[in-house]
Structure 1
Amino acid sequence: MKIIARNLSRETTEEELKALFAEFGVVQSCTLVMDKETGKSKGFGFIEMPLYEARTAIKRLNTKRIAGSVIRVKEAEETPK
């Protein structure tokens, strides 16, 4: 399942994001979205995990305060191709 994590601290690294979700199971992929011009985080990222583990991570992490920010975590919506 693909998850989106929003409202991340701009200082959060991709490694920290992966470690946060790894507490709930196998992280198949983790991508922190970066601004092309500044090279800094845009404050959101995508994580892929097996279904059951992803649902647990969403339930436990949504609205949790991480690095001073209350993060939003939910299933990512598929974009039409």
Structure 2
Amino acid sequence: MKLLVRNLDRSTTEDELRNLFLAFGNVQYCNLVVDQASGDSKGFGFVEMPKVGEAKAAIKSLNDTTVGSNQIRVKKAN
């Protein structure tokens, strides 16, 4: 299941994002979206988890939690 993670702190790294979701199961891939010109994070990213149950557990546990200085939002990506 592909997940959208929004409102990430601009200093959050791809490894930090991956590690958040690894606590709930296998992460197939993790992609932090960055501005091509500056290389800075745009504040959102995508995580793919192959098992739907693990992905749903991650959504339930991580949505509206504080990571860094921001309250993140996690949902199924369309």
Structure 1 runs (4+) deviating above 2 angstroms are: none
For 1:14-33, what aligned pairs fall within 5 Å after superposition? 14-33=14-33
Matched residue SS, 1:38: coil
Residues 6-64 of structure 1 show CA distances to partners (whole Å, capped at 9, x for unaligned) of: 00000000000000000000000000000011001000000000211000000000000
Using the size of structure 2 for normalisation, the TM-score is 0.97
2: CA distance between counterparts of 1:41 and 1:60?
A: 23
- Number of equivalences: 77
Unaligned runs of 5+ in 1: none
1: CA distance between counterparts of 2:69 and 2:24?
A: 21
Matched residue SS, 1:42: strand
Unaligned runs of 5+ in 2: none
- Percent identity reads 55
Matched residue SS, 2:3: strand
Aligned to 2:77: 76
The residue type paired with residue 42 of structure 1 is: K
Matched residue SS, 2:30: strand
CA apart distance, 1:68: 1.0
Aligned to 1:60: 61
